[in-house]
Structures are given as structure tokens and as C-alpha cells.
Amino acid sequence: MKKILLTIAVALVFGSTQLSALSLVHYWNFDGTNVPVNGGAKGATIDVTTIPFTAIVADITLAANPASLIYQVIPNTPSPYSTFWDITTGDTGNARDINPPAVNSCLRLGNPADQMQLVMNIPSTGYRNIVISYDIQRSSAGNGAMTNTFFYSVDNGTTWKNSVTNNGQISKDTIWSSPNWAVKSVAITDPAANNNANLKLKILFTGGQNTGASGNDRIDNITVEGDILAGVNSPVAEKVGMYPNPCNTGTVTFDKTVNVEVYNLVGRLIKTSSNVNSLSTADLAKGVYAVRINATSTQKLIIE
């Protein structure tokens, strides 16, 4: 079955001075989504070596391959190892919302985190000069990993690099977190990361306060941005609102007349509809779908 092309060929340019020349490639906001939660209540833990986390697909993805992220045990970590992730109240820093969020949530990555990694699959097909940004807060002055350390891979995770490992080319290896929300950014300056379907970034939770059963790092509004490569991406697409999302009403509404295709996350076309302002979802099972709008833009739709 042909893989779905979660392709949004829209060059969204946002107001940040630092990132004003870049276009959105991938985005996670964790707002109102049924993020796979492992651990549940604050402080609860599971053995993640036997019950692995489930990857979270990006809310918006523009490259030819879908982006996803996962909190997982660093390879060769002794078993058992217990921690959790869940969602909690988030922040608005670095937000790139197309649809107003139903709730403002973030991803909470629980301690012990010293032997965990957050791995992002961020294909850059059609883009160069990749910059990853996110809003981060540690749970308190005395809890939560104090630093995040970055590595990237251009070969789908076979080899990991940063400025001191394997001759990597990256703007920084480590950022500090604090009890206050702050937006942090890192640029992958390696030319091999450009137009690369196998690009990954991983974050290690370092610097102390990353052990024990209490404390966490909270991450929100992850963006991957880059310069569009001429001749690779489609023309600029219009911005289309889709409401409600998540949907439990049996119908989603668009803010203009559109043609839509609905795919599941393994790339199978589920249904189509032309010249419509709304779409019935009553025949769709609960889960996550990709809605391709006017053959150019794609948004994630959650059916509850």
C-alpha cells in the first residue's frame, strides 16, 4: 500500500525575527489530542522496557513523510526501567496553531529520565537549513532534568552526531531548562540534513535532577522549520480551518468550500468528498486520520 504523503505545501512565514525567513515543516502542539498516555496520574510509573510508549504523529507535517516522536529507553539500558509520560497544562510560547486549540496541553516527560531519550523523526524532504524549536519548563527549581542534550542523525538513527561526536554540525549541543517556560532553538547546520527523508533529532535529559520518581520536563509547541528548496515543494497552499478537532459530533466543518481526501495513518484512502463545507465522520472509527485539503494541505483529524 502506498505510503500517505502528508504533504502541506504551504509556506507559512511567522513573525519571529529569528525565524522570519523559515517555513513550517512539522509541528506538535499536544492540544486537545488523545496523546497515548503511559503512567496516567502524576508520579505514576510503568516499566517502559516491557510496555513501550507509542509514537505521537505530528499535528501538522509538510514534508513528504509524516513526522513522529517517541519517549523511549536509551538502547542497552538495564531492565527494568520505569518512568512515564502524560499531558498537562501547556503554554503558548512558539505556538503555530491553524485551528484554535480546544485545550492548551503539553507533553510531560517524567523522571527518572537519565536513561531516556525523546526521538523525533523529522524528514526534511524539500527543505534545508533546519531549525527545531520548542517551549520547555522543568517542574520546579529542584526537580526535572536541568539540561537537554541534542544529537541528530542523517541515516535514520544508525549514527548519531553533535559538535563533539562523529564530526557533527549543529548550532548547540545543550540547552538549559528552568522552572519558567522558555522557547529554545537548535539549528542543524550539516548539509547532509537538507532534503533528507531520514533526518532524526534526539534529546537526552541531562545536567542533574533527572533521577528518582519525582520531577519532569514539560515540552510544548515543537516546530521544525526550514527554507523551501526551489522546485521541490508545491505552490503555496491556502490556509483552511477545520472544526471541531478532535471531533465527537459526527461532522467536521471547513471555513471554505474544499475538496477533501481522508487517509488512515498507514496511507489507505478512506473517503473523498468534493466541493463541500463539511464532512461526515460518522462512518469513521475512533482514531487519528490525515485529511488532505484541496490536494495541497494536510491536517491531522482526531475522531473521539
pTM value > 0.95: no
Please, where in the chain does CATH 2.60.120.260 lie?
23-228
Better-predicted residue by pLDDT, 165 or 36 = 165
pLDDT at 143: 93
- The 3-class secondary structure across the chain, one letter per residue, is CCCCCCCCCCCCCCCCCCCCCCEEEEEECCCCCCCCCECCCCCCCEECCCCCCCCEECCEECCCCCCEEEEEECCCCCCCCEECEEEEECCCCCCCCCCCCCCCEEEEEECCCCCEEEEEECCCCCEEEEEEEEEEEECECCECCCEEEEEEECCCCCCCEECCECCCCECCCEEECCCCCEEEEEEECCHHHCCCCCCEEEEEEECCCCCCCCCEEEEEEEEEEEEECCCCCCCCCCCCCEECCCECCCEEEEEEEEEEEEEECCCCEEEEEEEEEEEECCCCCCEEEEEEECCCEEEEEEEC
Please, where in the chain does CATH 2.60.40.3080 lie?
242-303
Share of the chain above pLDDT 90, in %: 46
Better-predicted residue by pLDDT, 7 or 147 = 147
CATH, range 242-303 = 2.60.40.3080
pLDDT band of 267, cuts 50, 70, 90: low
Q: Is the pLDDT of residue 14 over 70?
A: no
Q: Is the pLDDT of residue 60 over 70?
A: yes
CATH architecture of structural domain 23-228 = Sandwich (2.60)
Dump pLDDT digits (tens) for 200-228. 999 999 999 999 888 999 999 999 999 98
Q: What is the mean pLDDT of residues 90-117?
A: 84
pLDDT at 63: 62
